[in-house]
Amino acid sequence: MGNFEDSRSVVRRTRLARSASRPLVTPLEPSVVYTTESPDELDAIYEGRVPGHTYAREGHPNADVLAAKIDWLEGAEDGLLTGSGMAALSAILMGVLIEGDHVIGGNQLYGRSMRMLRQELPRMGFGVSLADPTDPQSIADAIRPETRMIVVETVSNPTLRVADIPAIAEIAAREEVLLVVDNTFTTPRAFRPFEHGADILFHSVTKLLAGHSDATLGYVAARDPELRGEIRDTATTWGFTPSPYDCWLAERGLHSFALRYDRAQENAAELAEFLDSLDGVKEVIYPGLMRHPDHARANRLFAGMFGNIVSFRVPGGREVANRLVRAAGNIAFAPTLGDVATTLSHPASSSHRGLRPAERDALGMTEGFFRISVGIEDIELLKAEFEAAIGAALSTEAPAQESSGQD
C-alpha cells in the first residue's frame, strides 16, 4: 500500500479501521478528493462501471444522500444539488440555452430570478419576455419561434398568486418549449411539478426543505435523462457545487420536513384568520382564504395544502412599519422564508426595494405591507405577538393615509 498508510508520518492520512458496526448518522465527508487503487480503478469509476467519487466539484457522498431524498419526495430521478437556489437556476439556464434562444419568465418571480432574466440573460444575448403565469393566454401570446423555455414559480412572492401550471404545461407541450418550475414555496408536500407537466423543477433547498436557516443549497431535476446529463455537466464546469457540510445539515433538516411543513401550514391558516379579525388590518393574503383570487386553483392543485406564507397590510407609512417590527421584537425581522421559527419581512425595504414607490403601490406593496413566513411555534403565542405588535404600531397614530414613504 506504500506511503498512504505510513504510520511514521502524522501528515499522511490514516485509513479508518475496518469495523463490524457503522455510524447511525450519515458521516460528514468534506474530502475534496478521493484516492483509488490504480489507474485501472480510476478508469472504472470515470466510466461508471463501479461506483465512486473522484473530486468534490464533480459530486460527493453528502450531496448524493440528500439528492436521493429530495428525488423521492419529488418523484424525480437523479436530481442534482447545487450551491444555492440561484445556482440551480443558473445550471438550468446555462445547461439548456443555446445562442439565440428566448425565455419567457413569470412577471412576479423571486427578486434575483427576475434579475437573472432581466439583466444577466440579455447581457449574454438571450431574448427574454415576462408574462402573467395566472393567465395562460399571456404566456401563449409571448411564445416566439425561438422560445426555448418558460420559467414560473408555483406561488408568487409576496402576493401569493397561484400559477396555472397545468394550462401552461399544455401550451409548453404543444409549442415544444420546456417548462421549468421553481417549487420552493409549495414544496413536494403540496405540489409535485412533474405530475402536472413540468419538464424541469428546482428548489432553493435553503428555505423549507432544509428549514433551519443554516444551509444554502439548491436542487434541480429534469425528466429527460439527456437534459439531466447536460445540466449536471454544466453545473460541474461552471462550479455550481454544493458544500458537503451544507448537504449534511440539510439532510438533518429534511428528516423533520413533513412534520414542520404540516405544523407551519396549520399555524398559517389559523393566523391568517386571526389577522383578518383584527381591527386595523386592511388586507390578509393567504391562498387558503375563500376570497383569495386563486383559492379554487390552489385548492385543486395543492390538495388543501396552502403553505406557510401569509401576507398582510396595515395602513400607514414607514413610521408605522418601523413601529410594527420593533413591537414584534421576538419575531425575527429577516428577509427569508421557511425557517422553523416565524420570520417577518417587509417587501418595500427588501425584495421590492428596487421598485419606485408608485410601482410598489400598484402591486399593493405599500409601506404597511408585510409577509410572514409562519413557523412551528405555539399558535397562541403567535397570535398574541402579532396582536400586540399591530396594536402598538397603530395605536399612537390615527390610521394614516396609505403611503410608500418619502423616497
Ligand X SMILES: *Cc1c(COP(=O)(O)O)cnc(C)c1O
**Contact positions vs ligand X (CB under 6 A):** 84-86, 110, 112-113, 153, 182, 184-185, 204, 206-207, 216, 218
Which residue among the candidates 101, 110, 228, 313 is catalytic per the annotation?
Answer: 110
Q: How far apart are CA 354 and CA 359, in angstroms?
A: 10
Minimum distance between the CB of residue 25 and ligand X, rounded to whole angstroms? 25
Reported as half-sphere exposure (CB side, CA atoms, 13 A), residue 191 has a value of: 32
- 244 by Cβ neighbours in 10 Å (0-12 / 13-18 / 19+) ranks as buried
Is 110 labeled as catalytic in the residue annotation?
A: yes
Rounded least distance, CB 127 to ligand X, Å: 22
Q: Specify the DSSP element, H or E, that contains 172.
A: helix 165-175
Answer yes or no: are the C-beta atoms of 401 and 291 closer than 8 Å. no
CB of 302 to ligand X, least distance (A): 16
Nearer to ligand X, 66 or 143 (CB): 66
For residues 206 and 404, which CB has a smaller minimum distance to ligand X in the complex? 206
Angle between helices 225-238 and 85-96 (to 10 degrees): 110
Q: Which helix (H) or strand (E) holds 104?
A: strand 102-106
Least distance in angstroms from the C-beta of 218 to ligand X: 6
Residues 6+ apart with CB under 8 A from 239: 57
Cβ closest to ligand X, residue 84 vs residue 107: 84
Min. distance of Cβ 40 from ligand X in angstroms? 40
What is the CA 251 to chain-centroid distance, rounded? 16
370, three cell numbers: 408585510
Nearest residue to 254 via CA among 54, 11, 71, 10: 71
Which DSSP letter does residue 55 get? B
Q: Is 245 a catalytic residue?
A: no
Closest CA to 327 of 372, 388, 396: 388
Task: Report the nearest approach of ligand X to the CB of residue 201 (Å).
Answer: 12
- The answer to whether 175 and 203 have CB atoms below 8 angstroms apart is no
d(CA 35, CA 44): 13
Find the catalytic residue in 101, 132, 182, 199.
182
Residue nearest to ligand X (CB): 85
Say which amino acid occupies 17.
Answer: A
H helix runs in 256-397, sequence order: 257-277, 295-302, 318-327, 357-362, 379-395
The answer to whether residue 383 is catalytic is no
Residue 7 CB, nearest distance to ligand X (Å)? 44
The torsion angles phi and psi of 142, rounded to 5 degrees, stand at -85, -10
Give least dist CB 172 to ligand X, A: 20
Check: CB of residue 299 under 8 Å from CB of residue 339: no
Q: Which of 161, 192, 207, 260 is catalytic?
A: 207
Nearest to 264 by CA among 338, 184, 155: 338
DSSP states along 154-168: SB-TTT-PBP-HHHH
Rounded Cα–Cα distance for residues 154 and 139 (Å): 15
Residue with cell 413557523: 375
CA–CA dist 55, 51 (Å, integer): 13
Catalytic residues: 57, 110, 182, 207
